[in-house]
Amino acid sequence: MSQKNKKTGFITRLLLGSALAFGTAQAMADNCYIMVHGHGTNGTIKSGTNQPALDYWSSYNFSEYAGNSAITELISGSSDNYAVVGYNSTDEAGYPWWRDETAGEIARQIISIRQGYGDGYIHPEANTQCAANDTFWVVSHSQGATEMMYIAGNALPGSPNYNTAYTASSGVSVDFNAAISGIAGIFTLGGAITGTEGADRVCNGNWLDSLINAAFLGQDCNQSVAWLQTFDSYAVKNYIGSNLAAPVYVMGGYKGFPGFEGASSALIEGEDDGYINLASQ
């Protein structure tokens, strides 16, 4: 196992600096960063070093960040810890963000992590499992941000889906309140909290969108993709209460189209993302 290096990570300074700027105080305890991955990963797999939810943060989206994984940058130069949440967000599973297999599973794992039971993953860094007395933050990306908005937005009494996720046929009681109450803050990085134009194009695109999808993405409009569209009928904001159970800090950015960086501005509107990142803030 590798040890944490001595350099203070840029991501740590960015996240905590943002929180402090908005008045969130840090406790003296170590921080625990609960990492919630996005779309396209079967995070239910934990077989030795075959850990897709953990690998997501180093190889899937963040391998080019300063030569390090996002987690390395997050905890470097500190005694902080992290925990990985894994759920099945693949097209093959096809679970929307309101399902028990997604939102419900994430909430249950957060509760277990906060009780000090660890995340069940083999961390490359020594002594980085979270303790029950840590200060807890959630770091979410892509669909993970949508999941956290649904959970935090239904963790207070009076919210439309209070403590409830769903199967294909009925509601399931999940203690969203226990998962979120006392969380210092939720960070969304390129989060699909208002849906994604990428999903719009997969499900309702023109002939050019279809060609790009076939050549580079290979996605179909299954339910997990359909519920990430930007139309109001799919938007998480319409399925949560007017208050969130924890502060949320939204951070954007984009990645250019591979091999043709200038194509991003032509393929997707606005300055908040690129075709590959898919997420609209």
In a domain, 139, yes or no: yes
In a domain, 79, yes or no: yes
Q: What is the CATH number of the domain that holds 17?
A: 3.40.50
- Of the pLDDT bands very low, low, confident and very high (cuts 50, 70, 90), residue 53 is very high
pLDDT in tens, 221-261: 899 999 999 899 999 999 999 999 999 998 865 555 455 45
Among 118-127, 209-218, 260-269, name the most confident range: 118-127
Rounded average pLDDT over 103-117: 98
In a domain, 42, yes or no: yes
23 pLDDT above the threshold of 60: no
pLDDT in tens, 189-202: 878 888 887 788 88
Tell me, what's the pLDDT at 86?
Answer: 97
Number of folded domains in the chain?
Answer: 1
Regarding predicted confidence, which is higher, 139 or 220? Answer: 139
Full residue range of the structural domain in which residue 61 is found: 10-194+235-263
pLDDT in tens, 33-49: 999 999 989 999 988 88
Tell me, what's the pLDDT at 206?
Answer: 65
89 pLDDT above the threshold of 90: yes
In a domain, 136, yes or no: yes
Tell me, what's the pLDDT at 5?
Answer: 43
Q: Pick the range with the lowest mean pLDDT from 16-25, 129-138, 205-214, 227-236.
A: 16-25
In a domain, 17, yes or no: yes
Mean pLDDT of the chain: 81
pLDDT in tens, 170-183: 999 999 999 999 99
Kindly report whether the global pTM for this prediction surpasses the value 0.85.
no
DSSP per-residue letters across the chain: -BPP-SSPPHHHHHHHHHHHHTTPPPPSSPEEEEEE--TT-BTT--BTTB-HHHHIIIIIS-TTSTTS-HHHHHHTTSS-EEEEE--B--TTT---TTBIIIIIHHHHHHHHHHTT---S---SBTT----TTSEEEEEEEEHHHHHHHHHHTTSSTTSTTTTEEE-SSSEEE--HHHHHTT--EEEEEEE-BTB-HHHHHHHH--HHHHHHIIIII-----HHHHTTSSSGGG-GGGGS-SS-SS-EEEE----PPTT-TTHHHHHS-SSS--TTT----
